[in-house]
Amino acid sequence: MCGGFFALLIVLFMAMVRGGEAQLRQNFYRVQCPNVELIVRQAVMKKMSQTFVTVPATLRLFFHDCFVEGCDGSILIQSTKGDTEKDASDNLSLAGDGFDTVIKAKQAVEAACPGVVSCADILAIAARDVVLMSGGPNFSVELGRRDGLVSHRWRVPGNLPTPELSFNLLSWIFRKNNLSVTDMIALSGAHTIGFAHCNRFAKRLYSFNATHKVDPSLNPTYARQLMQACPRNVDPRVAISMDPQTPNVFDNAYYRELVNGRGIFSSDQVLFGNPISKPIVNNFAFNPQSFTSAFSQAMIRLGRVGVKTGKNGEIRRDCSRFN
């Protein structure tokens, strides 16, 4: 009995240790790399001075990383075989400026603190910084992630929120990552910046279903504007701003667009069409502080998804390849 009691204590102790390892915290690098956030911010500022695409590209990169294998930098891995997350069809439209932002920030951090800060943490910091520097909220970033040890193209389908998903499917993807409906709606507000390729929403304009060629939830005037910008069989590289009013400002205009039937993706507009999410959309549309507060909290929770610690990860020397 005594032996069994001590065995139980050991199990409980190991569980506590593992739980402690898995805890992210602010100022994780206070001793080993105290200026990491300043170094990353300077790199982000320099990249933003070259192109505003840095903002939506970096933020989208963070989302796509966290929803597949967790926030572990697995989206950054490159392979000549074309078999990593980056090579999945849903990730082919990720702008190179997002990857370049992380690469440049990692180089700067390595120069100051070699082998200390993970690529996953650098991406998390950079995602916060692009939001802040485009007019969005500031929030603390929890740190202590390790970089993942796997990156598979086949893991991407079904794990990313895509433009055509219904409210129920969207909710399911967020829920399995411990994110609430409010988190989902708040994070969707990132569509207030950036752009969308025409082929990602063309079905809404020309072949929605057997009854309606044009999605009836789409504002008719806006639909005609989209058709002018994205005619049939347009070059798939053509893209338009997702927020036509303030495309380069992180604000709550996205939600006002939804209220007016001007959500560019089906997965945007369904947020206003569903009775569960509609009150939240209305709240964010007319209460910008409510949106920024919810977005900040949702980003912190998203950053906790699938975190790797200890031997489950590594600190990559080069973000694009495993050590």
Is 101 known as a binding-site position? no
Is 161 known as a binding-site position? yes
- Exposed (0-12), middle (13-18) or buried (19+): which is 154, by Cβ within 10 Å? exposed
Is 93 known as a binding-site position? no
Is 21 known as a binding-site position? no
Which residues are 239's β-sheet partners? 197
Catalytic residue positions, numbered:
64
The DSSP call for residue 140 is P
Is 74 known as a binding-site position? yes
Is 58 known as a binding-site position? no
Is 68 known as a binding-site position? yes
Q: What is the residue type of 192?
A: T
H/E stretch holding 104 reads helix 96-112
Residues 6+ apart with CB under 8 A from 4: none
- Exposed (0-12), middle (13-18) or buried (19+): which is 78, by Cβ within 10 Å? middle
Is 65 known as a binding-site position? yes
Is 191 known as a binding-site position? yes
The DSSP call for residue 240 is E
**CA–CA separation, 25 vs 144, rounded Å?**
7
Pick out the residues of the known binding site for substrate. Answer: 161
Pick out the residues of the known binding site for heme b. Answer: 191
Pick out the residues of the known binding site. Answer: 65, 68, 70, 72, 74, 85, 161, 191-192, 243, 246, 251
Pick out the residues of the known binding site for Ca(2+). Answer: 65, 68, 70, 72, 74, 85, 192, 243, 246, 251
